[in-house]
Amino acid sequence: MVYILSHLPMVLLYALASFIYFLAYHVFGYRKAVVIQNVSRSFPDKRYGEVEAIVRKFYISFVSYFAEMIKGISAPADVLDKKIIFNNLELIDFYIRSGRSVIACMGHCSNWEMLNLLPYKTPHDVYAVYKPLSSGVMNRLVSKLRSRFGMKLLPDRRAIRHILYQRSRPAVYLFLADQCPRIKDEKYRFTLLNQETYVFSGMEKLARKAKAAVVYLNITQRSRGYYRVVCLPVSSGSEHMAEGEITRKYINLLTENINEEPYGWLWSHKRWKG
């Protein structure tokens, strides 16, 4: 069914997204209390009207991302390539050619699923480190979307063993590192958006063990359906950095990314549970 939907014109998919927005925001209020609370706490200086504008635009953008993901199931690479601009990929190429793997970290900003096109833009192997979804149907759908253009999926539990075993073959490893960790480590507690936040430490620990370079992928929306990804340096030699410093730099870059486009982050996620 999703594959059939993906052949619809984008204008119809956006129309469907608008209908879903109406239901999610105005009728059912899907996680609306969570979104409002997250936004208002993250931007305490904003007035209620400003918070409400961010919340509304978040819902509009979020359902649009899903429409674009559906289109991405069948859209050819040359079509999608016109919708996303990659800046400074030369940095990744430099690190790979110097013999280091690259940990490319990012947040749930803008339409992060557009990064499935990255293997089309670089000659290097690209792995997406992910946590398998509990829903078998959704897991197969997301796996299909992410692997269409050559991206290799790597379950998080196998990531350390894989990257250490493949050290002689440098590659790019994508990490969504802004999720709430199961185990709270005091050494990885930082201030994110004016709130004390425990941060997933696996990305940094893997980078240090593998002596990998680390970059941040800043994702923003140029206009509806069109995106820009900027590759920013975090660490060229992770093994030489103090513990927690890589994560601190990641948090700073993530904060800049969110402030640049406040509506684009995944506000419906229960990031702060305490």
What residue segments make up the domains of the chain, in order of their start?
2-71, 78-264
| Cα 214 from chain centre | 15
Task: Give pLDDT tens digits for 232-259.
Answer: 999 998 888 889 999 999 999 999 999 9
* Per-residue pLDDT at 274 exceeds 80: no
pLDDT of 183 > 80? The answer is no
Each residue's pLDDT tens digit, 126-149: 999 988 766 677 777 778 888 889
Give the pLDDT band (50/70/90) at residue 151: very high
Beta strands in the chain (DSSP E): 84-87, 102-106, 126-130, 152-155, 172-176, 189-192, 195-198, 213-223, 226-235
Q: Record the pTM.
A: 0.93
Residue 160 pLDDT exceeds 60: yes
Contact 212, 198 (CB under 8 A): no
Output DSSP code: residue 200. -
Each residue's pLDDT tens digit, 30-75: 999 999 999 999 999 999 999 999 999 999 999 999 999 999 999 9
Q: Is pLDDT at 165 greater than 90 in this prediction?
A: no
Average pLDDT, the chain: 92
Question: Cβ of 156: how many Cβ atoms within 10 Å?
Answer: 14
What value does the mean pLDDT take over residues 200-209? 89
